[in-house]
Structure 1
Amino acid sequence: MRLQRLLVRGALVETPRTPDGEDRRIAALRALDVLDTPMEERFDRITRFASQLFDVPIALVSLIDQDRQWFKSAMGLDVRETSRAISFCGHTILTRKILLTPDALIDSRFSDNPLVRGAPYIRFYAGCPIYAECGSALGSLCLIDTKPRVLSETDLHALRDLALMVERELQRPESNILDEKTSICNRNGFSLLAEKGLDLCARRMTPASMVFIEIDGLNDDKESKETDRILYQFSEYLNCHLDHSALVARVEKNQFVALLIDASAAAAELAMINFKAAIEALHIRENWKYLLRFSHGVAEFNTNKHPTVDKLITDADIAMYDNKKQRRYADRANEAVN
């Protein structure tokens, strides 16, 4: 294979060659009508989860356009595009398999790359190609770290599974994995990601905890705009303020779940204390008619007790109802005293 090199910022950089069938590949990418669109939760939830799952600071959904690399989702990176000539993912679409660079400084393809010598200082890269239905490689789901890394076969399998989820979102955006009212995962979308996460946690012996949350006394009137607004804001806060990389979902009208990777039950409880404080501040700022109260329960993942995601959710649900029952007893005791 003939190498192509380009002088970039005083260094000769090995640029990715143009793949066969490039016109067809670009046509397939443009047909998706996704370039230069806003970031979306359906992709961000995957990169956010990948960043936490693999413990890397950067995870990207990268699409290779004619002269640029454009990011549909960029967890841990502030820019939305770079030149294709210096992109790692431009090389990934040529491989038809996961491209691994354990240490870019000693990889002749990338050692002089400005993305290695300068920000974001890439040392480790793993990119899994994502494809159009016609078979053309459009880009990749990639993991980036600022220090050298290696991935196990289990890790690679999990990365492939996540890349397939990105592929499905690109090819069939109408797939039913998001909750319509809140735009976070529904139970189906949650289960798909949580299953992969728990499987990897089990193999790595990494702790994980499930939180089950039920909003108390929320008006169930489907026509209530106030109820819809509260549900949306609660979901947004759960997604952003519970834990940076928690995977969250709405599973019923007033019930939510959250999977926290690398978190014991005690760490999950602490996260819920902080989340409650954030919701109380939101209540004051938004001037809600009443203080939103919710009950929660935590179940720590145990490979022997929790063979499925649903079993872990059930145990967290049971813990939530136990906590709710104890709070009711405490409230009645206080009323009797007063």
Structure 2
Amino acid sequence: MLVPEKPRDEVERLQSLHALTLLDTDREERFDRVTRLARRMFQVSMSTVSLIDENRQWFKSCIGDDVTETPRDISFCGHTILGNAPFIIPDAAQDARFKDNPLVTGPPYIRFYAGVPLLYDSRYKLGSLCIIDQQPHTLDEEQIRDLVDLAKMAEKELGALYDATIDELTQISNRRGFVKLATKSLQHCQQRGTPFSLAFFDLNKFKAINDQLGHQVGDQALKDFAMLLSQSFRYSDLFARVGGDEFVVLYTGMDEMETRRAIRRFEQNVSEFNRGQHRPYQLLFSSGLYTVPAGQKMDLEEILAKADSRMYLNKMAP
């Protein structure tokens, strides 16, 4: 069996996938209508919209089966996202790469597979629209074009989610996207009995940057700060712009001491940026940290309010 490789842009691809906050959400008609149409058009037993997570493929829509996910290392769609063209297997039982795959030798007994990568933000292949059958098939050129057209429909729905959860200026999560993803992360921490911390950041003298240097320069300052956040923290940390010059970072599995060390490293990165970039401004900020110990449950909005309050006290301190 051939295990799919990882794309070269895997880290950025996964960051984009998780920023959509689409994984493990309920089925939605806007995706189901695409897979229903694909199944009917090609007269196959299954059609899915799959998203390739770090270790699994998860189905946002699956028409023809009740499965919700499979391991990534046995997925067909894991191979689809490695290329730009439709990935077609006319008869998996006769294909040396797949004939001993558990999805071929066992349920759903795949013989035919055709998938089209779903491109997100014109760069990242997050998953695929695919059709599957228990009988061998071939597709002619017109049918392949039809399948690609259906995949474009699914891509448009991913784009709509992007617009709803990503801050247009900084290209990191907005408040809505952060709340959706952070709520799920907190649930996991509470279930596993691990601590989590939330840091609230507010840029200092940002109004002066806008007033004295102009809003275009102010926008650049916000983009610089977001870039430094994305470069300074772990892949598993969640960060977002939640207001005009307000940012937050959620650290899962970290106690207060570990989080303070992470914030100090971030402060050093910001200082190095200020010294090395020669911008017409200095990035200065105040922060507030609130840590929830392992086993304690709190609402996300309450955590945000407490971290915000501590940030404000630090900002007002002489």
SS of the residue corresponding to residue 70 of structure 1 reads: coil
After superposition, where does 1:157-168 map in structure 2 within 5 Å? none
Counterpart for residue 179 of structure 1: 167
Is the alpha carbon distance of 1:306 and 1:287 closer, same or farther for their aligned partners in structure 2, counting shifts above 3 Å? same
Q: Within 1, Cα distance between the matches of 2:197 and 2:156?
A: 27
Cα root mean square deviation, aligned: 4.5
CA contact (8 A) 1:209 1:260 kept: yes
SS, match of residue 242 in structure 2:
strand
Distance 1:195 1:95 in 2: 39
Paired residues of 2:200 and 2:304 also in contact (CA < 8 A): yes
Retained in 2: the 8 A contact 1:185–1:250? yes
1:101-160 deviations in Å (ceiling 9; x for gaps): xxxxxxxxxxxxxxxxxxxxxxxxxxxxx98789879xxxxxxxxxxxxxxxxxxxxxxx
After TM superposition, the structure 1 = structure 2 runs for residues 1-20 of structure 1, keeping only pairs within 5 Å, are 14=1
The aligned counterpart of 2:243 is 252
Mean CA deviation greater in 254-263 or 221-230: 221-230
Aligned to 1:278: 269
- 2:15 aligned residue: 44
Distance 1:286 1:206, change over 3 A: same
Q: What is the deviation of 1:291?
A: 2.4
- Secondary structure at the aligned position of 1:213 is classed as strand
- Kindly state the Cα deviation for residue 297 of structure 1 after the two structures are TM-superposed: 0.6
Within 2, Cα distance between the matches of 1:215 and 1:317?
13
Aligned residues: 214
1:1-338 alignment runs, 5 A limit: 14=1, 43-46=14-17, 64=76, 68-70=80-82, 170=158, 172-218=160-206, 219-220=209-210, 224-301=215-292, 304=296, 306-307=298-299, 309-325=300-316, 327-328=317-318
Deviations 1:202-238, CA, capped at 9 Å, x for gaps: 0101111000000011134696222111211110110
Distance 1:235 1:191 in 2: 17
Matching residue's letter, 1:251:
V
Q: 2:203 is matched by which residue type in structure 1?
A: I
Shift of 1:310: 1.5
Report the CA distance shift for 1:49/1:278 in structure 2 as closer, same or farther (over 3 A).
farther
For structure 1, which runs of at least 5 residues remain unmatched after alignment? 1-13, 17-34, 51-57, 73-84, 98-129, 138-165, 329-338
SS of the counterpart of 2:236? Answer: coil
Q: Distance in 1 between matches of 2:15 and 2:158?
A: 13
Report SS of the residue matched to 2:82: strand
The 3 A distance-change label for structure 1 pair 301 and 87 is: farther
TM-score (norm 2): 0.54
Q: Which amino acid aligns with 1:233?
A: D
State the 1:49 CA deviation.
Answer: 11
CA distance in 2, matches of 1:65, 1:239: 28
Partner SS, residue 248 of structure 2: strand
How much does 1:194 deviate? 0.7
What stretches of structure 2 of length at least 5 have no aligned partner?
Answer: 22-53, 58-71, 85-94, 108-125, 134-153
Is the 2:19–2:177 contact (alpha carbons within 8 Å) kept by the matching residues of 1? no
Structure 1 position 60, deviation (Å)? 7.4
**Structure 1: how far apart are the matches of 2:106 and 2:202?**
45
Q: Determine the C-alpha separation between the residues in 2 that align with 1:318 and 1:237.
A: 23
For residues 303-328 of structure 1, give each alpha carbon's deviation from its aligned partner in whole angstroms, at most 9, with x where no partner exists. Answer: 65613x21111111111112222x32
After superposition, the Cα gap between the structure-2 partners of 1:238 and 1:67, relative to the gap in structure 1 and judged at 3 Å, is: closer
Partners in 1 of 2:246 and 2:131 — Cα distance? 40
Identity of matched residues, %: 25
Matched residues in 2 for 1:95 and 1:194: separation? 39
Counterpart residue type for residue 249 of structure 1: A
Q: How many angstroms apart in 1 are the aligned matches of 2:155 and 2:101?
A: 18
